[in-house]
Amino acid sequence: MSGEPKQAPAEADASDAAATGPTEVETGADAVVRALENAGVEHLFGVQGGAIMPVYDALYSSEMTHVTMAHEQGAAHAADAYGIVSGDPGVCMATSGPGATNLVTGLADSNMDSDPVVALTGQVPTDFVGSDAFQETDTVGVTGPITKANFFSDDPESVGTDVGTAFALAKRGRQGPTLVDLPKDVTKGAASEDPGEPRTPSTYSPPETAAPEAVSEATDVLAAADRPVILAGGGVIKAEACEELREFAVEHEIPVVTTMPAIGTFPEDHELSLEMAGMHGTGYANMAITMTDCMLAVGTRFDDRLTGGVETFAPDAEIIHVDIDAAEISKNVEADYPLLGDAKAVLEQLATAMPRSPEADEWREQCREWKQEYPMDYAAPEDDPVKPQYVVEAFDSATADDTIVTTGVGQHQMWACQYWTYTEPRTWVSSHGLGAMGYGVPSAIGAKLAADDDQEVVCFDGDGSFLMTCQGLSVAVREELDITIVVLNNAAIGMVRQWQDAFFGQRHMASEYPWVPDFDTLAEAFGARGFRIESYDEVESVVAEALEYDGPSVVDAHIDPGENVYPMVPSGGDNGLFALAEDQL
């Protein structure tokens, strides 16, 4: 991987030579760039355009690397993935109007998943605001409901501080996307101050530790439980609390279930791991969260894809809910023991306060039995079209443990959850709460740029999802990113087809593609390497070659178009009654 363009234009050398230190602040745009530098930003993802041009101009001599994306949606998704993998806010940039509205899907995704992202949008000059000027959109209005905070900057002297505040807010407390709207006259206007380090406003004070009495009550209940379970949510990763969670679970031998964003918090090959619960979670995870009498839930918002119908969610359980956001406590599921605070700090408190391990040997044995009873075993007859699960497993076997997986949205995403064994946090990158098709290719780009140099990135995509953002291949080729995109090609928007089979009398309305491009050929046209899998014999060699290729490659894997995702809890259903096959739905 290299941040340099393939054919560096002559000017690039000049700008590199000029980039010797932090940006001198002479304009609002300089202050914006300086604020990003002060925040330690290394990569930016964006697309140029009229209203944001002053900011780009100020970037010209900065040492930060800007990755020009093919579409602003891709910029937002790349920034989101960058934030997930690095833990620091990913930054995306777009011009006013269509540039800003193209970011919307990505910001909504980051907001749902509490991913740290900062978006910078150009805006028409302040005198024109409200006049329906060319490329004017009320960006702050449009993105208000889908950002943690957003700002309209109206002063060149404070615009840098606004950007710093946005950065600090994206990262602190419950993480999320923030946006600063930058009118062109403000970024062009004279400024002199270095905006300094990013800081959150004085009014913003997320809780740190939980009330000690509450912690000791909660640990008493947990220690006395017969059927305890830990439900790890994405907040555990956000709070860098995986170590604490692992130690607590292992020390007290409490089985661990994760939500989808929390994949990687707890090693899936550990005997206490029951893996992911919810709509397409494992049978054993869903049995455990249904039968538990005490659930320690950390950093989760009890999304409906996890809970199914709340009436039947962990109905016997006293719930201990650790969260940094008070509004998540008892929002969807009532918390008997709310512990408001940072997951890492509260897990440390719990570890200290825990009087003893629960005497729950029978339950531990039960969980082990469920793992035997509901194996994730799929049928893969030799003569059939290749099973998608087999392709996922083949890539998993051929790659190192720290390999990062990103996905589109659909069946392929679920197989990537289910059949890859995750052992490390920040190696699973997906669009969870929003379920945004098109997340795959740009997220692979963002993940690769945030990854360690020797860390591999594999993206599992669906043919439908891939077609939404495959223009990002041009970026991956230009930036020489070594990523492997595996299109689990069923010539259908399979997840929709699966629902039609189950709930709409097999009426395949608008879910089958009578024709899909040859994705391997398409990849070659972009300058990437293309591979194809059509039978089992080809799997091993293609996997090896695609991973071996040093640059972006696309594997067009023609999979069994009839394959569906199981287990499945229908939307609003009872987790304990998960279906193992269609006739159980």
* Catalytic residue numbers, as ranges: 72, 134-135, 184, 495
Nearer to ligand TPP, 108 or 169 (CB): 108
Give Cβ neighbours of residue 273 (< 8 Å, ≥ 6 apart).
255, 256, 266, 267
Cα of 346 vs its chain's centroid, Å: 24
Rounded to a whole number of angstroms, the minimum distance from the CB of residue 578 to other proteins is 7
Q: Which of 412, 448, 478, 529 binds ligand TPP (CB under 6 A)?
A: 412
Rounded to a whole number of angstroms, the minimum distance from the CB of residue 392 to ligand TPP is 11
Q: Which does 225 bind (CB under 5 to 8 A by kind): other proteins, ligand TPP, none?
A: none
* Position 204 contacts other proteins (CB under 8 A): yes
Per the CB < 8 A criterion, the answer to whether 298 and 242 are in contact is no
Rounded to a whole number of angstroms, the minimum distance from the CB of residue 514 to ligand TPP is 14
Q: What are 48's strand-pairing partners?
A: none
* Position 180 contacts ligand TPP (CB under 6 A): no
Rounded to a whole number of angstroms, the minimum distance from the CB of residue 207 to other proteins is 12
Site string for ligand TPP, 490-529 (x = CB under 6 A): x-xxxxx---------------------------------
Q: Which does 48 bind (CB under 5 to 8 A by kind): other proteins, ligand TPP, none?
A: none
Rounded to a whole number of angstroms, the minimum distance from the CB of residue 357 to ligand TPP is 42
CA distance 155 to 133: 20
Q: Which does 28 bind (CB under 5 to 8 A by kind): other proteins, ligand TPP, none?
A: none
| Residue keyed to tokens 């940006």 | 23
Rounded to a whole number of angstroms, the minimum distance from the CB of residue 475 to other proteins is 33
CA distance 220 to 238: 27
* Position 380 contacts other proteins (CB under 8 A): yes
DSSP 170-231: HHSSS--EEEEEEEHHHHHSB------S----TT-----SPPHHHHHHHHHHHHT-SSEEEE
Q: Which of 99, 410, 425, 433 binds ligand TPP (CB under 6 A)?
A: 410
Nearer to other proteins, 388 or 472 (CB): 388
Q: Convert 86-121 to b/e letters by CB count within 10 Å (16 or more is b).
A: bbbbbbbbbbbbebbbbbbbbbbbbbbbbbbbbbbb
Stretch that binds other proteins, among 90-98, 378-386, 426-434, 506-514 (CB under 8 A): 378-386
Nearer to ligand TPP, 142 or 230 (CB): 142
Nearer to other proteins, 133 or 149 (CB): 149
* Position 377 contacts other proteins (CB under 8 A): yes
Q: Which does 495 bind (CB under 5 to 8 A by kind): ligand TPP, other proteins, none?
A: ligand TPP
Cα of 299 vs its chain's centroid, Å: 15
| Contacting ligand TPP within 62-91 (CB under 6 A) | none
Residue 517 CB neighbour total at 10 angstroms: 16
* Position 488 contacts ligand TPP (CB under 6 A): yes
Q: Which does 488 bind (CB under 5 to 8 A by kind): ligand TPP, other proteins, none?
A: ligand TPP
Q: Which two tokens mark 511?
A: 């879910």
| Contacting other proteins within 282-311 (CB under 8 A) | 283, 287, 290-291, 302, 307, 310-311
Tell me phi and psi for residue 272, to 5 degrees.
Answer: -80, -10
| Contacting other proteins within 383-442 (CB under 8 A) | 390, 393-394, 397
The residue number with the shortest CB distance to ligand TPP is: 462
Q: List C-alpha distances in Å: 578 to 100, 284, 411.
A: 41, 10, 17
- End-to-end CA, the chain: 46
Site string for ligand TPP, 427-446 (x = CB under 6 A): --------xxxx--------
- Measured in residues, the chain has a length of 585
Q: List C-alpha distances in Å: 239 to 327, 347, 426.
A: 17, 10, 12
Per the CB < 8 A criterion, the answer to whether 184 and 54 are in contact is yes
For residue 253, give the DSSP letter: T
| CA-angle at 201, arms to 197 and 203, nearest 5° | 155
Q: Which of 21, 40, 145, 212 binds other proteins (CB under 8 A)?
A: 145
Q: Spell out the alpha helix ranges (H) of 24-121.
A: 28-38, 53-59, 72-86, 98-113
DSSP 390-445: HHHHHHHHHS-TT-EEEE-SSHHHHHHHHHS---STT-EE---SS--TT-HHHHHH
Residue (of 167, 237, 233, 154) closest to 204 by Cα position: 167
CA distance 135 to 144: 19
| Contacting ligand TPP within 450-469 (CB under 6 A) | 462-465
Q: What are 43's strand-pairing partners?
A: 65
Q: What are 233's strand-pairing partners?
A: none
Rounded to a whole number of angstroms, the minimum distance from the CB of residue 567 to ligand TPP is 16
Rounded to a whole number of angstroms, the minimum distance from the CB of residue 280 to ligand TPP is 11
Stretch that binds other proteins, among 230-238, 329-337, 433-441, 463-471 (CB under 8 A): 329-337
Task: Tell me the site size for other proteins, rule CB under 8 A.
Answer: 61
Nearer to other proteins, 399 or 465 (CB): 399
Q: Which does 374 bind (CB under 5 to 8 A by kind): ligand TPP, other proteins, none?
A: other proteins
Q: Which does 411 bind (CB under 5 to 8 A by kind): other proteins, ligand TPP, none?
A: ligand TPP
* Position 526 contacts other proteins (CB under 8 A): no
* Position 288 contacts ligand TPP (CB under 6 A): no
The residue ranges that bind ligand TPP (CB under 6 A) are 408-412, 435-438, 462-465, 488, 490, 492-496
Give me the residues that bind other proteins (CB under 8 A), please: 140-141, 144-145, 149, 152, 169, 201-204, 283, 287, 290-291, 302, 307, 310-317, 325-327, 329-334, 336, 373-382, 390, 393-394, 397, 562, 564, 566-567, 576-582, 584
